[in-house]
Amino acid sequence: MTCRNWLDQVAHNERFLFTAKMSQRFTHETGSTAGATAKDESEVRAGFDVLRDGGKLGAVLLQFPFSFHRTPENIAYLEKLLMRFADYPLVVEVRHATWNEPDFYTMLRERGVGFCNLDQPLIGRSLKPSEKSTAAVGYVRLHGRRYDTWFSDDPKVPSFERYNYLYPGAELEPWAERIRAVAAESPVTFVITNNHYQGKGVVNALQQVHLLTGANIQVPELLVEHYPELKAVSAS
């Protein structure tokens, strides 16, 4: 019902596409396939299928945690998962640098699976920013750079603080160039600003649109009031 309501809300916009995220039962419980049941698969498909059948499913993101390293076991698990959901436009997000190997990108290309280029705090062997395209669907995800909370397990630190970050313009500009490079290879490219606390992702998304197009855009007055830096990109 929820997904059908979403379709109704965007029916006026022919170009609008949703990106969906795979349940953590499939991406964070990867020791064996026992973590995700047939019921789990049926439930995620129920939502994905509504969006796909309505012509609005742009991508399904399989986002794995930093702890998901490139090992023979994890490679085998990922390949089985990609086969299991091969009927959707899939994108894989991995965060550990062990995945930065030619064979991994070749595997994605052979299966027509997109790669998620991500911005994250570079701690230890974190995967660095990139501009790779492995499928018709390109993907960029900006998580913010909260180094002090990214791996925090302090119960006193609220979970939302992990994404409480506002990118300054100097950090967005290199990403505009990477986005252009991805889009040059992938006809449909999604850019997701996941630094969502207090609407900061919206602010940076609007700024990124300005960087990519050079055009000033309509910005809600209340947002400009809270984030004066948007005056530079506002059309009003």
pLDDT value at position 1? 75
Contact 182, 133 (CB under 8 A): yes
pLDDT tens track for 145-168? 999 999 998 999 998 999 999 999
Rounded Cα distance, 166 and 109, in Å = 33
- The full length of the chain comes to 236
Q: Order of strands across the sheet with 188-193?
A: 18-21, 57-63, 90-93, 114-119, 137-142, 188-193
Report DSSP state, residue 104: H
Residues 6+ apart with CB under 8 A from 203: 166, 223, 227, 229, 230
List the single range of 24-38, 61-75, 191-205, 218-232 with lowest mean pLDDT. 24-38
CATH of domain 2-195: 3.20.20.410
Least confident of 17-31, 70-84, 201-215: 17-31
Closest Cα to residue 143, out of 167, 174, 177, 168? 167
Domain locations along the chain = 2-195
> Residue range 157-181: average pLDDT?
96
CB 141 within 8 A of CB 118: yes
Cα first-last separation, the chain:
37
pTM of the model: 0.94
Number of C-beta neighbours around residue 203 at 10 A: 22
